[in-house]
A and B are shown apart, each in its own frame.
Chain A
Amino acid sequence: MQSINLAEHSVRQLNQLLHDQCNHFDQSQWQVSATSGQHNIACGLNQNLEVNIHGHVGYFCAGMNQLAHVTVHGNAGQGVAENMMSGTVHVKGDASSAAGATAHGGLLIVDGNTGARCGISMKGCDIVVKGNVGHMSCFMAQAGTLVVCGDAGEALGDSLYETVIYVKGKVQSLGADCVEKPLTKKHLTQLKQLLKSAGAEEDPSQFKRYGSARQLYNFKVDNAY
């Protein structure tokens, strides 16, 4: 196992060492300490690494992640796992706004709460939040799944495309064109699987499903040129 102390190394040095594993894969286990809320930790990984980050991290941690499994033993700042392509990112504490923004694939797990705009414009990843999500979560979300075991803030799923949202708790309000939909057997199976992958011990039948009513401009064939 390789241990990197960010009091002694820069984030750039750490990220370079992790990127080097794309060309010469000889070390799969990584530990990072003394994070002090620094930005861009473990960004752009593209190898089947297991990275354990001890401490709170700043913005864009594990951004653009591919293949790697990154765990933050602390809180994460804005844009954790933004534009993730594959792999997993697990935040043991809370995450700030725009968690999983634009992410195409992979699984983001947040044990605590997230701030506003969780999963904004997500394009295919799965996000499981064990606590609450803030306002405007899944704004313009295109594909993938958001599971919220707690409550959701205002304007959930505003201008949603094909992302599926499951919420167990209260939804403060739904955004434009986002509606509640029936929880079918197919959805229960999907939800059960996601909860299991995230290690969340919740009863899937207690969740409600939300999705796009497909009534906005881009869904109307009459609007096509």
Chain B
Amino acid sequence: MCGIVGLYLKNQSLENQLGSMFAPMLEAMTGRGPDSAGFAIYGDQVLDGSTKITLRHPDLEYDWDTLADRAQTHLAVSVAFMRNHHAAVFKVATDAQTASDYFATHAPEVALLSAGQSIEILKAVGLPAEISTDFNLTSMQGSHIIGHTRMATESAVTLEGSHPFSTGQDLCLVHNGSFSNHNRLRTELAYHGYQMKTENDTEVAAGYLTWRMDQGDTLDQSLKHALQDLDGFYTLAIGTKNGFAVIRDPIACKPAVLAETDDYVAMASEYQALTSLVNIEHARIWEPEPATIYSWQRDSQQG
């Protein structure tokens, strides 16, 4: 089953309300996914040449200060971090590869959830409402956000199997459905040099889009390729640094509803998750067509 939700702000003056607008959407999808939940939020962008990295350690008492000091000394660049429950968002004044490599090599005890200039991924096992409270979602700000509530099917109820998955800088997707060719795609991606971290099918879809975009595809082009190469039943909501997209497979078995006003674009598995949004009664509401790409992009200047 699973529930997916996304909210993309067109009106920048609402950015300080992103988390409070989104939290009820995520919680409304508890019935579709009570096992684990998570979200990828975009905002608070760092400058070119710097990187934001979300790290997680299961121990709430983990000593992030020491890790930051060690990273700063080793990389000889400025390192700052913000702790949030059992995760911490690090801002490192170096490129994403260098920063990711450092943590992978020197802090194997922490899991790297996302890397980029804008993205932060926070996820955990448990009910969406608990996860929303633990990470203080309602106080979060940003330009867009996608979230997932999981009812596990393809792999176990673990943090590793929790969504969302990010496999490339600032790229993230949430998925409702299942892919039938993920094992073959995983092998092909490995051949191209993209090593997936889990057995989960959704990670493969994220990896696929990362590979396509690394090949020079725009978001829309990568999704056009995805419609050809991803086999299965799926509705996807995708976030990039400046963009937001929704696609459904050609059979369109998995549900999706879109709503758009002058202020926002919202997507959810079910209309129930949209009822809390301001002005929803005047929104244009529609069901996305099968095999059709819906995307919204901000000017790069706007960040």
Contact = CB atoms under 8 A, between A and B. Distances in A.
Interface of A: 36-38, 56, 58-59, 75, 77-78, 94, 96-97, 115-116, 134-135
A96 B275 contact: no
B275 A37 contact: yes
Nearest to B288: A115
B271 A78 contact: no
A97 B252 contact: yes
B303 interface: no
Contacts of A116: 251-252, 290
Nearest to B286: A94
A56 B272 CA distance: 9
B287 A37 contact: no
Given A78-B255, A116-B252, A134-B252, A37 B285 contact: no
B153 to A, nearest CB: 19
Contacts of A97: 252, 255, 287
B174 interface: no
A78 B287 CA distance: 11
Nearest to A136: B251
B271 A75 contact: yes
B275 A36 contact: yes
A182 to B, nearest CB: 32
A97 B274 CA distance: 19
A77 B271 contact: yes
A36 B272 contact: yes
The listed residue with most A CB atoms (<10 A of its CB), out of B252, B255, B287, is B287
A81 B270 CA distance: 18
B293 to A, nearest CB: 17
Given A36-B275, A38-B272, A75-B271, 8 more contacts: A37-B272, A77-B255, A94-B285, A94-B287, A97-B287, A115-B252, A116-B290, A135-B252
A115 B270 CA distance: 14
- Report whether over half of chain A's contact residues are helix, strand or loop; otherwise say mixed: loop
Contacts of B272: 36-38, 58
B252 A58 contact: no
B270 A58 contact: yes
A120 B270 CA distance: 21
Interface of B: 251-252, 255, 270-272, 274-275, 285-287, 289-290
29 contacts: A36-B275, A37-B270, A37-B271, A37-B275, A56-B271, A56-B275, A58-B270, A58-B272, A59-B270, A75-B271, A75-B285, A77-B255, A77-B271, A78-B255, A94-B286, A94-B287, A96-B287, A97-B252, A97-B287, A115-B252, A115-B287, A116-B251, A116-B252, A116-B290, A134-B252, A134-B289, A134-B290, A135-B252, A135-B290
A94 B289 CA distance: 13
B32 to A, nearest CB: 11
A77 B286 contact: no
Nearest to B273: A37
A175 B191 CA distance: 40
| Top 3 A-B pairs, shortest CB-CB distance | A37-B271, A37-B272, A36-B275
A97 B253 CA distance: 9
A58 B286 contact: no
Contacts of B251: 116
A63 B252 CA distance: 22
Nearest to B274: A37
A37 B277 CA distance: 13
Contacts of B290: 116, 134-135
A56 B257 CA distance: 12
Contacts of A37: 270-272, 274-275
Contacts of A56: 271, 275, 285
Contacts of A135: 252, 290
A75 to B, nearest CB: 6
A134 B286 CA distance: 13
A48 to B, nearest CB: 29
A77 to B, nearest CB: 6
Contacts of B255: 77-78, 96-97
B230 to A, nearest CB: 19
Nearest to A116: B252
Contacts of A115: 252, 287
Contacts of B289: 134
A54 to B, nearest CB: 11
B163 to A, nearest CB: 23
